[in-house]
Amino acid sequence: MSAFHFQLHASDGAARNGTIHTPRGEIRTPAFMPVGTAATVKAMLPQSVRETGADIVLANTYHLMLRPSAERIARLGGLHRFMGWERPILTDSGGFQVMSLSKLRKITEDGVRFRSHIDGSEHFLSPERAMEIQRLLGSDIQMVLDECPPFSAGESEIESSLELSMRWAKRSKAAFGAQPGHACFGIVQGGTFATLRRRSVDALVEIGFDGYALGGLAVGEAQVVMFDTLDATLPHLPTDRPRYLMGVGKPDDIAGAVLRGIDMFDCVLPTRSGRSAQAFTREGPLNLRNARHAEDPAPLDAACRCPACRDFSRAYLHHVVKADEIIASMLLTWHNLTYYQDLMAGLRAAVAAGEIAAFAAWIQNAYARDEAGET
Amino acid sequence: MSAFHFQLHASDGAARNGTIHTPRGEIRTPAFMPVGTAATVKAMLPQSVRETGADIVLANTYHLMLRPSAERIARLGGLHRFMGWERPILTDSGGFQVMSLSKLRKITEDGVRFRSHIDGSEHFLSPERAMEIQRLLGSDIQMVLDECPPFSAGESEIESSLELSMRWAKRSKAAFGAQPGHACFGIVQGGTFATLRRRSVDALVEIGFDGYALGGLAVGEAQVVMFDTLDATLPHLPTDRPRYLMGVGKPDDIAGAVLRGIDMFDCVLPTRSGRSAQAFTREGPLNLRNARHAEDPAPLDAACRCPACRDFSRAYLHHVVKADEIIASMLLTWHNLTYYQDLMAGLRAAVAAGEIAAFAAWIQNAYARDEAGET
């Protein structure tokens, strides 16, 4: 039982409730992974992240390879010890950030050469190097290197990018090799084109992975287009492996994706929003900067168990937001991550109870009415 | 026993160990009060402040009167409930910040008119208003309004300022009135002039206060001058009331002041240093930004009980400092406040054991060698 494997507990339509078993602990699915970009979930201590209910966090290969470097983290005993988080960690391959953050990148069949956004130093990332970095970090779930075409790309550009990504996926899997207890996930690309998504799934399944991620979504397309793409893709994936929708999303995005069969999510939204006065609640988003909270003695969410809701008023949160105090980021991040974990617990329970459609509709109703959030 | 009073447990030379009893809890002395300027000890949750060992925190009248206002905090149930700290709070009178932060201030016999450094709005602070604000906040220990002359002021300027401050002290005490369980402290002024300090003590003792603070020190004078001023002042204060040295200081300042009979301290140093990579340790100050920590697997201080030392390496602290992560401020502030509270516990134990001279010399040795801190 110590090997990496996925256990399905219940289904409700396409929605699934399960457990991913790893030597470092169980991951209850559907799962939300807080983002710990640079070996820290911003404004949180690891123990507090765990208290919100997180079973796993994500860390970014791109950021860590540049600073402090994978080799240094390895010499210090690996990423878990380095960042004080002993439970599972998923690392991305660095591909997405190279495309979005780095400068002067040049993509060839071999890999991608780029300059650091921090100090301009030159770096090279190939499928083999991406997997080597993730192994040095000691990552529990390692992602293949893929190319991430821009949202503006046309079908032929996405198709040739996809072909490159599939060749890289094969090389990534070979480089991953055998790492008992660790997993390697493939990444389905193909934009919003059903035929390309299908081709990508077939290529990855032929290689064979421990789980399958969907990349290239939530990059600007409408929610309905993302959901249509999930509907066209997920039925072709093996049911005995976890499915991970990368970089998603808002509560209603997550609810809709769970409804369609996604098991894992990551997104900077709860943490980033927490640093800009935005709070997620059962009734929808709230902006604590809004003057109407200035003298409100009520908690942010009376039903919430986090310190922001348990120990403080909306008036206090408004005050520390206005005063640019660090505690504002600390409390709102803690609250938002708690909201997200409670959302996932609710989704898991709804799947188990056969009530996922109603639960997803309720979340959709609270969040879809205000895409940009209260201002 | 619910009234505010000071109990002396032990003396060692001029040094004292005691307890200040208040309805909101006991304050073990010598005590260090973390600074919670704007109703938050920066980068800390209140429960974490308590875990460091703090019995009391300080909050700033000046900042709170400007934002969110004393009246609003009163309507929200007082400062303790507002900031989630149910133990004692000391508030300053606002005088020091008006002199150092505000714009266009104009001092008259009545009080001081000034403009907010936040939004330029005009405000007026008199002894009566300063005490009204502190009462609205629900402060446990309230300070009289005093005028704070600049370090550059000559003897005659300090003398006339002192006379004004003593008239304001009398008005402040009258305005404080009767508040069972709450205390009003006078502030001894007089710069570094022994005769003026003595005159100030006599004036304040004649009015009669629950405790006596020393203001106008640690504003630029050499440590030896500050210590000489303490030596010239403290013997004239009543022994049955706590003595508070405002805005002090470095560990060796505190040790030297305890040796001379001070019971209470506040200073932004541990919190502000924590936000700029500076750590206090038993061996002296450390700057975590220094490259020599980059690959050091050792904890900041193996003997320390704080999360920064218990769960992380110096290498990690260096990394999050370099990456400008909020967790760097959180961990180093927690560590520094723990160091300060452990320092105070050590000083209390040393007084009780009759070893204060040796203990103070040890602290002096660790800190006096590097006034500016390791760089």
Pick the residue with more confidence: B283 or A344? Answer: A344
Question: A35 forms bridges with which residues in the sheet?
Answer: A58
Determine the Cα–Cα distance for residues A154 and B184; give it in Å rounded to an integer.
74
Is there a contact between A313 and B76 if contact means CB atoms under 8 Å apart? yes
pLDDT of amino acid A356: 98
Predicted ipTM? 0.97
Parallel, antiparallel, or unpaired: how do β-strands A278-281 and A284-287 relate? antiparallel
Q: Do B315 and A77 touch (CB under 8 A)?
A: no
- Is residue B8 within 8 Å of B240, Cβ to Cβ? yes
A266 is catalytic: yes
Q: What is the pLDDT of residue B369?
A: 56
pLDDT band per the 50, 70, 90 thresholds, residue B375:
very low
**Position of tokens 């309230």?**
B142
pLDDT-derived band at B370 (thresholds 50, 70, 90) equals low
Closest partner CB to B39 (pick from A44, A72, A319): A319
Yes or no, beta carbons of A76 and B312 under 8 Å apart = no
Q: From CA B214, how far away is CA B229, in angstroms rounded? A: 10
B47 to chain A: which residues are within 8 Å by CB?
307, 311
From CA A3, how far away is CA A180, in angstroms rounded? Answer: 6
Amino acid identity of residue B170, one-letter, is: K
Contacts of A68 in chain B (CB under 8 A): 294, 315, 318-319, 322
- Given an 8 Å threshold on Cβ–Cβ distance, is B82 in contact with A313? yes
Question: Å from A60 to nearest chain B CA?
Answer: 14
In Å, how far is A94's CA from the nearest CA of chain B? Answer: 18
Q: Between β-strands B89-91 and B57-59, what pairing exists: parallel, antiparallel or unpaired?
A: parallel
Residue from A253, A266, A301, A342 carrying the catalytic annotation? A266
Query: Could you tell me which residues of chain A have a Cβ less than 8 Å from any Cβ in chain B?
Result: 38-40, 42-47, 67-68, 72, 75-77, 82-84, 275, 294-295, 297, 307, 311-313, 315-316, 318-320, 322-323, 325-327, 329-331
* A vs B: CB pairs below 8 A: 114
Give contacts of A42 with chain B, Cβ < 8 Å.
325-327
Chain B closest-CA separation from residue A219 CA (Å)? 26
Considering all CA atoms of chain A, what is the largest pairwise distance in Å, rounded to the nearest integer?
60
Report how far apart the first and last C-alpha atoms of chain B are (Å, whole number).
49
Q: What is the mean pLDDT of residues B166-193?
A: 97
Mean pLDDT, contiguous 10-residue spans, chain A (375 residues): 88 98 98 98 98 98 97 98 98 90 88 93 96 98 94 92 97 97 98 97 98 95 96 98 97 98 98 98 93 98 96 98 98 98 98 98 82 46
Interface of B with A (CB under 8 A): 38-40, 42-47, 67-68, 72, 75-77, 82-84, 275, 294-295, 297, 307, 311-313, 315-316, 318-320, 322-323, 325-327, 329-331
Q: How far apart are CA B96 and CA A276, in angstroms?
A: 32
| B319: nearest CB among A68, A295, A323 | A68
Predicted local distance difference test score (pLDDT) of residue A95: 87
The answer to whether the beta carbons of residues B92 and B58 sit under 8 Å apart is: yes
From A279, A278, A254, select the one nearest A267 (Cα to Cα). A254
Let me know if A324 is a catalytic residue: no
Task: Choose the closest CB to B38 out of A42, A84, A323.
Answer: A323
Are B72 and A44 within 8 A, CB to CB?
no
> Which H or E run includes B12?
strand B5-12
Given a cut of 50, whether residue B54 has pLDDT beyond it is yes
pLDDT at A39: 98
SS3 B325: coil
Q: Are the CB atoms for A190 and A199 separated by under 8 Å?
A: yes
**Residues of chain B contacting residue A84, judged by C-beta atoms under 8 Å apart:** 311-312, 316
Look up residue A360 and give its two tokens: 């997803």
CA distance A46 to chain B (A): 9
What is the pLDDT, as a whole number, of residue B316? 98
Contact B307, B327 (CB under 8 A): no
Nearest-CA distance B373 → chain A (Å):
25
Mean pLDDT across B27-55: 98
Q: What pLDDT is attached to residue A371?
A: 46
Q: Which residue type, as a one-letter code, is found at position A9?
A: H
DSSP B179-208: -TT-EEEEEE--TT-HHHHHHHHHHHHHH-
Catalytic residue among B210, B266, B301, B342: B266
Report pTM: 0.97
Which residues of chain A does B322 touch, with a Cβ-Cβ cutoff of 8 Å? 67-68
Average pLDDT (B191-210) is 97
